[in-house]
Amino acid sequence: MFQVTGEEDIDYGALCIYILVMLAIVIGLYIFLFVYTHFLKKGSRQHYCTYCGKLVDVESRCCHAPVEEYIFKKICSKCKKETTVMCKKCKKIIMD
């Protein structure tokens, strides 16, 4: 009734192309993230203060100096340590 063969023909070409495309996407995103964080970083940007109700400039909590903002961290421009930001007007901590 059924013929059982020991080997089946499996097309590995499509699987290989799929893996190569996914690998290219991951590498492309990694390169974009690297370029963005090291070369196209945003300097200072305004944040919304929930206490003032306005867009305000921020300063570091440790030294009250301007903050260099990267994607996931904020660094004090004076002491070069990771810091939290606070409103320049009302001196309250801003949670992002």
> What's the rounded Cα separation, in Å, for the pair 96 and 11?
49
pLDDT in tens, the chain (96 residues): 556 565 566 677 888 999 999 999 999 999 998 887 777 666 567 888 888 888 898 899 999 898 888 777 888 989 999 998 899 899 898 876
> What's the rounded Cα separation, in Å, for the pair 70 and 36?
9
> Where are the domains positioned within the chain?
10-40, 42-96
The pTM assigned to this predicted structure is 0.51
> What's the rounded Cα separation, in Å, for the pair 67 and 60?
6
Amino acid 17: pLDDT: 92
> What's the rounded Cα separation, in Å, for the pair 72 and 28?
19
